[in-house]
Amino acid sequence: MIAEEVDLPVVLYNIPGRCGAGMTAETIAKLSEVENIVAVKEATGSLDQASEIASRCDITIVSGDDSLTLPLASIGAKGVISVVANIVPADVKAMTDLILEGDFVSARKWHRKLFRLSKSMLSLATNPIPIKAAMAMLNMASDEMRLPMTELEDAKAGILRKALEDYGLLI
């Protein structure tokens, strides 16, 4: 109903890990019939789910999981709503440009480089806690959080710092 009342493009967010429930491919296909629902951020972690969506409708699928951007692109996804691009935008852009050019061999090199950093962001705490902490460590932003979010625990901050060092972002 909301999408039908506005003149803006609408992106569905399918993030069951964040909301406790996900949308089925059938639901997404039905919603895609609304003219200005133009895309779905698919963050279920399931290539089968994305494939099912693609087989049911022509909605644009974008990755909602940085670590799955390349695999989802292999079945037709068109991009990513990225977390890790907040700290390495040029690297994410390099990979997605190669994907859009159809050069999956070169894109795979970027995917492998970005993979561990992407997974470390996901495994430490609820988004946006790790990315905010990383941005603070890189002097890109404050680490201030609004409730109910809290600062990253010290032990996990050490793991994150190591991931940033391994990537070459910190010395």
Catalytic residue, chosen from 13, 78, 119, 156, is: 13
Read off the DSSP letter of residue 21. Answer: -
Active-site residue, 13 included: yes
Q: What six digits make up the tokens of 1? A: 């109903």
Catalytic residue, chosen from 30, 41, 93, 132, is: 41
How many whole angstroms separate alpha carbon 90 and alpha carbon 42?
Answer: 22
Active-site residue, 109 included: no
How many whole angstroms separate alpha carbon 148 and alpha carbon 12?
Answer: 24
Neighbours of 156 (CB within 10 A): 17
CA nearest to 53, candidates 40, 36, 65: 40
Catalytic residues: 13, 41
